[in-house]
Amino acid sequence: MVQPIQTPVLIAGAGPVGLLVALQLARMGVGCTVVEAEPGLTHDLRAGTFHPPTIEMLEQVGVAAPMLELGIKVPRWQSWDLAHGMVAEWDLSLLKNDTPYPFRLHLEQHRLTPIIFRLLKQYPHAQVLFGHRFESMVQHTDHVEANLATETGQVSIRADWLVGADGGRSQVRKSADIEFAGYTWPERYSVISTRHDFAHHGFRENAYISDPEQWCAVFKMPDEGPPGLWRMTLPVGADATDEAVLAGPYAQHCIRRLTGHDESVEYPVVHQSIYSVHQRVAVTMRKHRVLLAGDAAHVNNPLGGFGLNSGIHDALALGEMLAAVASGAEDQALLDRYHRQRHTVNVEYVQTLSVRNKQNLEVKDPAEREQRIRMLQSTCADPVKARDYLLNSSMINSIRRAATID
């Protein structure tokens, strides 16, 4: 009988969240094994906005400096209304006394994971096994035994602790029988990437455009050269088929709505995708020796850039706490605190704010839209109110709230 591989901590998922849990553990001297179903690091084009406190946390593990070299700093972002034009421009320098990084950083996820992976490879007690798909697990009193599929057959891994960082469809969460409470939005989202420079139309590197018909969010991402890659995220109605949305004319129409150009203008579309959007939170982020982080624990719509950021906050908090428990320095009860902190702030901040952001962008009643515009303008014009607004939108308040939870 083949003996199972043994590791102190097994982590399912080699995205940024799983790799950061591993990096934090490895830095603190705890051995770990990351397993990933894909043959290598994935090329994910969704997440790409990093908020100030996230950069602060990543600085502590050596990841921020190379990110800052590659990314685009966004010191100001905008709120627009498609009919009224630019409504408010938010100046993140108002947070200069709250964070050493008073800006957003734009860098696509597929440029982040290689940075973390390179740092992780410096630690001999950490390993990443690609082509290993987590399938199931059995919990015992003092360990977890996981079953994985590879090209050459089944593999068993025995670990003291199992971390599910394997995305919104987490097999770890399902295997642990943890409910994923919430709902799926009726509309899907489309992401369109173009090299057309939206700065020519007055847009900052990040802008949210409200519209009762089809709101939109635009982000400028690093590319091989100027003007960079501009990404649009927008909702797709239930009456539109995937085939129609992914056909060329649909993307051209969506871009023209922002530029005001007629149908004679064609734009270079580099990439387009369509996906379903969920608002869900696992009822617990710890079940005995199984812990969840990132999308495996919570998913939300992308408005506000909270998803990957909150996943990174999970990863670094969990890595630190689990290292203390695994090394014997702390009691297992510390991991219950991980659940209380991260679950609370996800419900209170990430879910609440991302839903509110979506609802604000799609307001249909003209009077309500006018009221929202006046509110944003008056808030932005008052430095005290604007700073309070930015403390929430930048996730600084969510980090401060987590620190108050024992």
Decide whether 5-73+105-183+279-360 matches 188-275 in CATH topology.
Answer: no
- pLDDT computed for residue 238 by the predictor: 83
- Residue 115 pLDDT more than 50? yes
Pairing of strands 216-221, 229-236: antiparallel
- pLDDT computed for residue 4 by the predictor: 77
Q: Which of 37-46, 77-86, 118-127 has the lowest mean pLDDT?
A: 37-46
- Residue 1 pLDDT more than 50? no
Tell me if the domain spanning 5-73+105-183+279-360 has CATH number 3.50.50.60: yes
How many residues are there in the chain? 406
Which strands make up the sheet holding 278-282, listed edge to edge?
180-184, 278-282, 298-299
Model confidence pLDDT, tens digit, residues 286-319? 999 999 999 999 999 999 999 999 999 999 999 9
Instruction: Give 2's pLDDT tier (boundaries 50, 70, 90).
Output: low
Into which CATH architecture does domain 188-275 fall?
2-Layer Sandwich (3.30)
Residue boundaries of the structural domains of the chain = 5-73+105-183+279-360, 188-275
